[in-house]
A and B are shown apart, each in its own frame.
Chain A
């Protein structure tokens, strides 16, 4: 699957830890117009600047909602950005990247693939796009902004440290 739709929550988290550019370079990245507007509502914020820059560079494409988002919004009590992102992911048969609890519940009910900022960070480290040392540093930043459960952070740290060990001469 080479398409990814970024919900504002994950786009902001990845921008805050400076991993957004690397992630959107992995495939065709999309944002729903409403999610883009929500994530750049405070234009002076660094994360908003980063998201806007990647859109200007064409690394993130934008798409308007086409109706299904409104129904999802009502059924799952989501915001327009979240529901439009899910509708767009469904339309494009894409991975939906979100760190929002109700949005994840909706994606599970609809049977759509999803991922989160921390899962993308671990995968980027395991695939060699980020060094183990840097990935651990970014994990600690995500610990603050992503506010993940300690079990999640522990597992992510373990997987990243394993990458670091393999990179120092261990088996791949």
Chain B
């Protein structure tokens, strides 16, 4: 069962909902719910990009698997939080870890 909530909308918000409802041929309430979902994803993306969320907490907030989160970030082209100096340190560690191939 869905909860009912009344929200006061400003003229711009109402105009956007009407516009979207018309173009997508959906009820305004359905369009409003979809926009809330998009807004949530956008907010989580911003937090992830700002380093406030790890990949795991980002995926959990969206209710998707880590693999799906990686695919979503790739589709949207969201830059990795790995910085250049992190990469160089990681490279030095990897060089010590990986053995030369025999033969």
Interface residues of A (CB under 8 A from B): 1-2, 4, 8-9, 12-13, 16, 23, 26-27, 38-39, 41-42, 45, 47-48, 77-82, 95, 99-105, 113-116, 118-120, 122-124, 126-129, 144-149, 151-152, 155-156
Contacts and interface: CB of A to CB of B under 8 A. Distances in A.
A1 B97 CA distance: 6
Contact of B82 (A122, A128, A152): A152
B98 A127 contact: yes
B93 A147 contact: no
A132 B57 CA distance: 36
A12 B82 contact: no
Interface residues of B, number: 40
B80 A147 contact: yes
Given A1-B97, A38-B59, 18 more contacts: A8-B55, A9-B66, A12-B70, A27-B97, A41-B66, A77-B54, A101-B81, A102-B53, A115-B94, A119-B93, A123-B95, A127-B101, A147-B73, A147-B80, A148-B80, A148-B87, A149-B82, A151-B84
B95 to A, nearest CB: 5
B47 to A, nearest CB: 10
Contacts of A2: 97
